[in-house]
Structure 1
């Protein structure tokens, strides 16, 4: 199976804000640019799976006539950290998360292991469907988890690998995974 993983367009928010699971709309310019880039590659003809969050769903609806929305593709929810400036989150809380990347629940939200479990369940069902190719529109954290799960190993190993990976996935960027 070949998976095309596309990160959502830039959301309408200020830089430096923790917006993980918040349902923000994308910028129209971001949608147009990402749509054009994906269409040029012929990816609009593939089955499309998407996070239901608006920054992904807006692109999926314009790219495919019948996208499948799956909440398991949503970004990690940061609980009370959502929509706060990263600079305003107490350093002790960020340090506690860094000390336990797998199990700590930032802001009382989801742990990386929670998110890895739902992403792994989605990936398992997708593989069982027998598709040759699919386009997945989701988030940087979800993309890192999908890529790490693709490398193999147990779910905890994959989750930790993803959590430790540096975040260099731009808005609208495409990553291709091949079996």
Structure 2
């Protein structure tokens, strides 16, 4: 089984602009920023998606809705609108949330640089958990769980031939899957699936797309970066 995974980071939020840590805080995209995604939206709207997945947080729901429908929604911070209507067929998944930064949510590097625990976390995030936040082990585990679930979804829906065995669509076009999520999640998915790709080796800006071509090797997804 092979797939092309289109990973899109949500549009710009107020805390993104202010360079504050933004994990589970449910901010919307700044009004007007979604329009900057118009070139990507035009390309994505012309594609057929075998599966669409999205973080359940507002900034990702707003971004997805704009990308697939062209309908801009106002930022919760600016307009008080805290909803983006769900799109039929989309899986909104909590496992695609950003790392939870706990007490460091909303803080900047300048706010935290004098904290010895923060300095240790910068040096080795796998060894330190933000106070009240999420451990690196828990974060990477839920991303792995999502990836395994993605394989199960595809196997159930389109991966069986006439004999009920996997691979029945091998002669057809490689399925395209869209995932709208967060920068850390995109890095972690790439690090977990593409050999020799350290987490910090990728920089994905708000509104950018990373494409991966992945194959299931019997135990996990593995592949390469396309763009």
Report TM bin, short chain.
0.7 to 0.9
Distance change >3 Å, CA 173–CA 112, structure 1 → 2? same
Pair 1:30 & 2:33 matched: yes
Report the 3-state secondary structure (helix = DSSP H, G, I; strand = E; otherwise coil) of the residue aligned with 1:126: helix
Q: CA deviation at 1:41?
A: 3.9
Secondary structure, counterpart of 2:126 in structure 1? coil
CA distance in 2, matches of 1:53, 1:168: 21
| CA spacing shift, 1:56–1:29, aligned 2, 3 Å | same
* TM-score relative to the length of structure 2: 0.68
Q: Which runs of 5+ in 2 are unaligned?
A: 70-86, 159-174, 215-227
Please say which of residues 121-130 and 70-79 is displaced more in the overlay.
Answer: 121-130
Equivalences for residues 1-179 of structure 1 within 5 A: 1-13=3-15, 14-42=17-45, 45-46=48-49, 47-62=51-66, 63=68, 65-66=87-88, 67-89=90-112, 90-130=114-154, 132-151=175-194, 161-162=198-199, 165-166=200-201, 168-179=203-214
C-alpha displacement of 1:91: 3.4
Contact 1:21 1:76 in 2 (8 A): yes
Give structure 1 stretches of 5+ with no counterpart: none
Deviations 1:40-80 (A, max 9, x none): 24466423211111110112234263221100000001000
Deviation beyond 3 Å, 4+ runs, structure 1: 41-45
User: In 2, distance between residues paired with 1:28 and 1:124?
Assistant: 35
8 Å CA contact retained: 1:140, 1:167: no
Q: CA deviation at 1:3?
A: 0.3
Separation in 1, partners of 2:4, 2:209: 13
Question: Greater Rg, structure 1 or structure 2?
Answer: 2
